[in-house]
Amino acid sequence: MHAWPASEVPALPGKGADLQIHDTATGGRVTLDPGPVARIYVCGITPYDATHIGHAATYNAFDLVQRVWLDTKRQVHYVQNVTDVDDPLLERAVRDGQDWTELAERETALFREDMTALRMLPPKHYIGAVEAIPGIVPLVERLRDCGAAYELEGDVYFSVESDTHFGEVSRLDAETMRLLSAERGGDPERPGKKNPLDPMLWMAAREGEPSWDGGSLGRGRPGWHIECVAIALDHLGMGFDVQGGGSDLAFPHHEMGASHAQALTGEHPFAQAYVHAGMVALNGEKMSKSKGNLVFVSKLRHDGVDPAAIRLALLGHHYRDDWEWTDRVLQDAVERLARWRAAVSRPDGPSADALVDEIRAALADDLDAPSALRAVDRWAALQQSGGGTREDAPGLVSRAVDALLGVAL
Ligand code: 5CA
Ligand code: ZN
């Protein structure tokens, strides 16, 4: 699949600090040490509805990771998937009487537009589940042939017990895993499984559903976790730096993905750090396609809201926090954007050298974007009170806010 166009990332004087980030698997802060090419996989959308503010908040977090890396003068190798065939997508297509491929294409196109408008850096490889199927089939066959997977009525399941590290990503107790598995696409109640948590790797063709040639697996379609594993192994390899997604992906998705990859390769870990963004709520409940309590990025844009204000509204919350979207959140961001734009439109201003250091330090400290925003607020307030005559300052602030926060002033 094609991704979306990249917005330019201005180069800044000097160099940023190495990123420290909260890793779900260790439950604490880790200092990432990527090589000259940092590798990141971020789980993409299931395209059956438009991009909502919750999605945008999660992609914003991982966009910041990349901006910090770019500022340390590294290259970034970024991979994202599109779950363009899965139960919820097929169910929505049936409900609305539309073709599932058209639904997926339309919503993916809208997602690209939203990401472009929000100045999210595009992945180098943007891969759909359907196009990954030829790579998925041999992985499932290998897992089956080495005893890490088994067949049940034509479907193929992964045996969680085949990975000695199973459970180390989410660190949840068995009961919680079981509950979350049932809630998030698993089938712990299905009789005949070796372990109730075992996830499906390959689903035999169902009447009325799309299916593909699965070689010795027979016709069918891939399970969810193996999709991301196949794409990540193909384009990044084992031990890449960050696997990212919202906190609802820690279990089962990232737990199972890590186990699939570890069982396949005999290597550990799948990712150096598993990073999870908090959930955005609306009216007291997690914003979710299945509940329908959504604020769409595209709707806000069409209502005339500046995408830079949407981005500032996201940046005003720490990525790990759960938070609530309100009109007030957006209004505050609109006002902040106006203050910043007024401040950088003057011909001179107070020195911005310290501000650049502050933004860099805040982001390197577990992506503390709210602190970075407050630092810019302080510079803008000083500017407002006529605090300086440095001619390079407004331009430097604009470039730093663009390069590090993805906001064009
Ligand atoms: N296609 C899979 C990942 S392989 C999937 O989870 N798709 S999704 O469309 O449901 O979600 C895309 C991303 O947005 C995921 O990282 C998910 O954790 C995140 N997300 C979904 N809802 C919210 C929310 N309310 N707040 C924050 N992030 C969210
Ligand atoms: Zn995924």
Considering the chain, tell me which residue range(s) the CATH 1.20.120.640 domain(s) occupy: 307-405
287 Cβ inside 6 Å of ligand 1? yes
Average pLDDT, the chain: 97
> What spacing in Å lies between the alpha carbon of 80 and ligand 2's midpoint?
8
Per-residue pLDDT tens over the stretch 389-401:
999 999 999 999 9
User: 64-74 as b/e, with b when 16 or more CB fall inside 10 Å?
Assistant: bbbbbbbbbeb
Q: 292: pLDDT confidence band, cut at 50, 70 and 90?
A: confident
Q: Collapse the DSSP code of 401 into the 3-class scheme (helix H, G, I; strand E, B; otherwise coil) and give the result.
A: helix
Place of tokens 């000259």: 36
Architecture of the 25-277 domain: 3-Layer(aba) Sandwich (3.40)
Give the span between the Cα atoms of 403 and 117, in whole angstroms: 15
360 Cβ inside 6 Å of ligand 1? no
- Give every strand in the sheet of 285-286, ordered side by side: 285-286, 280-282, 323-324
Tell me which of 284 and 197 has the higher pLDDT: 197
pLDDT at 290: 75
Q: 288: pLDDT confidence band, cut at 50, 70 and 90?
A: confident
Mutate which of 24, 43, 225 for ligand 1? The one with the most ligand atoms within 8 Å of its CB, which is: 43
83 Cβ inside 6 Å of ligand 1? yes
Q: Please count the residues of the chain.
A: 409
pLDDT at 245: 98
DSSP string, 77-88: EEEEEE--SSHH
Considering the chain, tell me which residue range(s) the CATH 3.40.50.620 domain(s) occupy: 25-277
Residue 298 has pLDDT above 90, yes or no: yes
> What spacing in Å lies between the alpha carbon of 52 and ligand 1's midpoint?
9
277 Cβ inside 6 Å of ligand 1? yes
> What spacing in Å lies between the alpha carbon of 228 and ligand 2's midpoint?
5
Q: Which fold has domain 307-405?
A: Four Helix Bundle (Hemerythrin (Met), subunit A) (1.20.120)
Dihedral of CA atoms 133, 202, 243, 29 in degrees, nearest 10, equals -170
Closest CA to 48 of 294, 301, 306: 294
Is 102 in contact with 64 (CB distance < 8 Å)? Answer: no
Tell me which of 212 and 50 has the higher pLDDT: 212
Percent of the chain with pLDDT over 70: 100
Q: 2: pLDDT confidence band, cut at 50, 70 and 90?
A: very high
Q: What is the mean pLDDT of residues 370-383?
A: 98
pLDDT at 155: 98
Per-residue pLDDT tens over the stretch 252-268:
999 999 999 999 999 99
229 Cβ inside 6 Å of ligand 1? no
Per-residue pLDDT tens over the stretch 167-185:
999 999 999 999 999 999 9
Measured CA to CA in angstroms, residue 83 lies from 54, 109, 131, 340 at distances of 17, 14, 10, 38
pLDDT at 377: 98
Rg (C-alpha) for the chain, rounded Å, is: 22
pLDDT at 197: 98
* Tokens, residue 168: 């180390």
Dihedral of CA atoms 335, 340, 341, 346 in degrees, nearest 10, equals 140
pLDDT at 289: 75
Is 349 in contact with 343 (CB distance < 8 Å)? Answer: yes
Give the span between the Cα atoms of 49 and 287, in whole angstroms: 12
